[in-house]
Amino acid sequence: MALTSSILSGTEIEIEPRFREAVEALIQSCRDTLPSVDEDLIWRAFYVAHWAHRNGRRASGEPYIIHPLAVAQICVDRIGLDDVTVAAALLHDVVEDTEVSLEFIRDTFGDTIAEIIDGLTKIGGAFESRAIGQAENVRKLMLSMASDIRVILVKFADRMHNMRTLGSLSRHKQFKIATETHELFAPLAHRFGFNALKSELEDLSLSILNPDMYGLIEKSLRDSSKDRESYIQRFIGPVSDRLESEGFKFSINGRSKNFYSIYRKMKRQNKPLSEIYDIFAIRIVLESAGKQGREDCWLVYSILTDLYKPLPERFRDFVSVPKSNGYQSLHTTVLGPEGRRVEIQIRTRDMHEVAEKGVAAHWKYKEGVARSDSEMETFLTWVRELLEGPRPEQATEFVQDFRLNLYDEEIYVFTPRGDLLTLPVGASPVDFAFQVHTEVGFHCIGAKVNGKMVPLSHKLSSGDQVEVITSKKQTPNPDWVKFVVTQKARSRIRHWINEKRRKAIDHGREIFAKRAKRAGIEYTDSELSTWAVKLRFPNQQQLLHEIGTGHFDVKDLVSFVRGSRSAESQDEVGDSPAARQHEEFETFLDTAQSTGAPALLIDGELHTDIATTYASCCNPIPGDDVFGYISRTGAIKIHRVNCRNAPNLLINQPDRIVPVEWSRQKDVSFVTALRMMGEDRVGIVSDITTVISKNLKTNIRSISVETVDGVFEGTIVMYVSDLEHLRRLIERIKRVEGIHGVYRFEEQIDER
């Protein structure tokens, strides 16, 4: 393909003023952050991108060029990349989406930009392809990091802008992209040290995946903003006055934590939002640098603890021993006015640059050639270790390995020779052994910590000196998986266990096949699975494994098969409260999924010839926000979008996902049910039914109540028009005197 010099210079291209202004603003941002800027390079990259995308439109209908311009701006403002990478960001989609070839990019802009764009094209193709599993996508990402870190940095900016503009996509696509962002890109941004970028990705994902919780937190922070700002000023005032009097040059501000961190704290502490108090933090950034800056951080900490009482157990020193991504800061928590806990971060301007821009702050450019410092080498070592590790059987295992420890705090331990190793909090001597070398991990039989023998499950602490004792006869113990925490140890132990298990299963299958042939028993794979379940094995593989290892006599299986074929087995159903509730739940599901249910639209169209079933892992009912999963039989299984299995299905098996929604039929009501608990007082049931049927004009189908020791539990099945109607019902019932809890009637059942 040939482009004329007039296009490269922009003289024959009609460009809207707003796009020229955007490029000028982009270049100005480069001038503000870079020592030198090749403005001609950026303009030429823009002209080519504008021409290549001249007929392209985004889902919103806007000209496509808006996207690469926004990505380039994020590269400058949020990540701090150089002009070469900015040019690559402007061109990042042209090879994949337009007629522009990689050879043209190489000839026009040079090898560096061509290699970045080639890496981005390969990543983009991986994530669009429905044939490639998530594990392979992760490997492609990591390979791109190992070749040129700027590939993944531009990908971060690309994902950021896409997340900001998801509104024009279908709910199905929004959920897939948000899930992928939450499961992969946000943890990876954390590992890179991009705290600000990670926080925004987390919040944007939460707004899609759990809009109700996002809205609740947003409203709460908005309603309390005046009180919070007032408190922050009261806290900051004495600190600011003292630092000024001591002659420090600094900036100090308070900020709310990001929505997702508040949400995670609610889940971790199992508390409602009203009981989460430490929702903001104070940051002090000092203008001093180098050794003086590190000393000043400690002086400011001393001043701060003179003014407010510190909580020693909440102190963290990342100045003396930085995190593996180079992050440095002093963290502490103090008791501020009114005895409220306040989190504080103390750092220098240089440390702040690393905290905000992560490994990009360590990435130096000289004459177009990238080179890394020690922090970057540490990160790339982590990438290489993951690439060199064994490939697990399941894609989900690799993704878990990849994400493992991304959010964890770190400890620092020493070898007998005094070498420093960084491990996650909770690491054991086995983790340490694998960190030293895989063979050391495989053959470790014991460990000494600070000169004393300890169990291999012992949790190490910062400052420990660890010595590993090995034996050539030792092999990994499956129990190690229960306490190791590092990706390297877990993946290699699990790989060894899987290999050993596979051999045992194959041996067991061979043993049974020979015995069955001698006994004249013909069977299918499906029948073998059924027999395994009836013999109380979780699956066929476990049955064969125990036969192969000698823990289950194959004669017993043959006897069982003969007996089961001569008489029908009887199902026994218990009469426990759990069994009764399960039966009640099954009855409700049958009612909800068959009574007045509207038709399902698959890919926006009504298909009466496709079988659909409801997933038992999340038990969707008409009216829920759902998606479809094509099962092996060809039927479509309906899952709720917030099903716990949704991330695994959406990321690892996207080729089997189809958009599904309920048809919008007028005056159609859905059957739903609520479970309630509270005090067994006279008239409480009447009060509840009054709220439902009279105040909210809702038709009740059935109601059941059980009372034990002054406490009642009840289930109400009723008709609602939509999920908003259901939410209003829950809120109103909660206000009834004596009610302690109201929640949607659900039962979680693992799908195997």
Report the range of poorest mean pLDDT among 159-173, 343-357, 502-516, 583-597.
583-597
Cα radius of gyration (the chain): 30
Whether residue 435 sits in one domain with residue 541: no
Where does a domain end: 616, 634, 662? Answer: 662
Residue 142 has pLDDT above 70, yes or no: no
CB burial class (10 A; 0-12, 13-18, 19+) of residue 255? exposed
Half-sphere CA count of 673, side-chain side, radius 13 A: 26
pLDDT of residue 292: 93
**Residue 745, token pair as written in the block:** 């009637």
Would you say residue 482 lies in a domain?
Answer: no
Instruction: For residue range 165-182, list pLDDT tens digits in order.
Output: 998 888 888 888 898 888
Whether residue 347 sits in one domain with residue 328: yes
Whether residue 723 sits in one domain with residue 630: no
Q: What is the distance between the alpha carbons of residues 406 and 191, in angstroms, rounded to a whole number?
A: 6
Instruction: For residue range 514-537, list pLDDT tens digits in order.
Output: 888 888 888 888 888 888 888 888
- The conformation of residue 57, written as its DSSP 8-state character, comes to B
Would you say residue 515 lies in a domain?
Answer: yes
CA angle, 660 then 664 then 665, to 5°: 135
Cβ 670 vs Cβ 622: under 8 Å: yes
pLDDT of residue 370: 41
Where does a domain end: 297, 330, 361? Answer: 361
Indicate the SS3 state at residue 204. helix
CB burial class (10 A; 0-12, 13-18, 19+) of residue 181? buried
Helices (H) and strands (E) in the chain — how many of each?
30, 23
Average pLDDT of the chain, as a whole number: 80
Indicate the SS3 state at residue 321. coil
Whether residue 160 sits in one domain with residue 292: no
| SS3 letters across 515-553 | HHHHHCCCCCHHHHHHHHHHCCCCCHHHHHHHHHCCCCC
**Residue 407, token pair as written in the block:** 């959010």
Q: Calculate mean pLDDT across residues 391-412.
A: 52
Closest to 488 in 3D by CA, of 443, 447, 408, 432: 432
Cβ 453 vs Cβ 460: under 8 Å: no
Cβ 405 vs Cβ 425: under 8 Å: no
pLDDT of residue 414: 85
Catalytic residue among 39, 77, 96, 278: 96
Where does a domain end: 158, 192, 209? Answer: 209
Cβ 468 vs Cβ 440: under 8 Å: yes
Backbone angles phi, psi at 324, to 5 degrees: -65, -20
b/e 446-459 (16+ beta carbons within 10 angstroms → b): ebebeeeebebebb
Whether residue 684 sits in one domain with residue 725: yes
Instruction: For residue range 207-253, list pLDDT tens digits in order.
Output: 998 888 888 888 888 888 888 889 999 999 999 999 999 999 999 98
pLDDT of residue 160: 93
We report the CATH number of the domain holding residue 413 as 3.10.20.30
Residue 65 has pLDDT above 60, yes or no: yes
Confidence band of 24 (pLDDT split at 50, 70, 90): very high
Report the range of poorest mean pLDDT among 281-285, 568-572, 710-714, 731-735.
568-572
Would you say residue 486 lies in a domain?
Answer: no
CB burial class (10 A; 0-12, 13-18, 19+) of residue 84? buried
Whether residue 221 sits in one domain with residue 74: no
pLDDT of residue 615: 78
CA angle, 124 then 128 then 132, to 5°: 100
Q: Helix crossing, 195-209 with 149-164: angle to 10°?
A: 40
Whether residue 324 sits in one domain with residue 194: no
Share above pLDDT 70 across residues of the chain, in percent, rounded to a whole number: 80
Q: Calculate mean pLDDT across residues 331-335.
A: 92
We report the CATH number of the domain holding residue 128 as 1.10.3210.10
- The conformation of residue 394, written as its DSSP 8-state character, comes to S
We report the CATH number of the domain holding residue 268 as 3.30.460.10
Would you say residue 574 lies in a domain?
Answer: no
Q: What is the distance between the alpha carbons of residues 615 and 621, in angstroms, rounded to a whole number?
A: 10
Half-sphere CA count of 29, side-chain side, radius 13 A: 22
Count Cβ atoms below 10 Å from residue 175 Cβ, excluding itself.
24
Whether residue 514 sits in one domain with residue 424: no
Closest to 348 in 3D by CA, of 251, 449, 445: 251
- The conformation of residue 35, written as its DSSP 8-state character, comes to S
Whether residue 137 sits in one domain with residue 14: yes
Confidence band of 396 (pLDDT split at 50, 70, 90): very low
Would you say residue 143 lies in a domain?
Answer: yes
Indicate the SS3 state at residue 475. coil
Q: Calculate mean pLDDT across residues 630-658.
A: 81
Question: What total of structural domains would you count in the chain?
Answer: 6
Q: What is the distance between the alpha carbons of residues 91 and 632, in angstroms, rounded to a whole number?
A: 41
Ranges of H-type helices in 10-93: 17-33, 39-52, 66-74, 83-90
Tell me how far CA of residue 625 lies from CA of 638, 639, 698, 726, in angstroms. Answer: 10, 9, 21, 13
Would you say residue 308 lies in a domain?
Answer: yes
Whether residue 100 sits in one domain with residue 246: no
More reliable by pLDDT, 31 or 407: 31
Q: What is the distance between the alpha carbons of residues 600 and 606, in angstroms, rounded to a whole number?
A: 7
b/e 500-530 (16+ beta carbons within 10 angstroms → b): ebeebbebbbebbeeebeeeebeeeeeebee
Whether residue 544 sits in one domain with residue 422: no
Would you say residue 715 lies in a domain?
Answer: yes
Q: Is 111 among the catalytic positions?
A: no
pLDDT of residue 407: 45
Whether residue 100 sits in one domain with residue 49: yes
More reliable by pLDDT, 630 or 602: 630
Catalytic residue among 97, 397, 584, 687: 97
Identity at 484, one-letter amino acid code? V
CA dihedral 199, 205, 209, 213 (to 10 degrees): 30
pLDDT of residue 395: 42
Q: Is 241 among the catalytic positions?
A: no
Q: Name the residue range of residue 354's domain.
A: 217-361
Confidence band of 426 (pLDDT split at 50, 70, 90): confident
pLDDT of residue 386: 53
**Residue 238, token pair as written in the block:** 């004495």
pLDDT of residue 133: 41
Q: Helix crossing, 349-357 with 290-307: angle to 10°?
A: 90
Would you say residue 339 lies in a domain?
Answer: yes
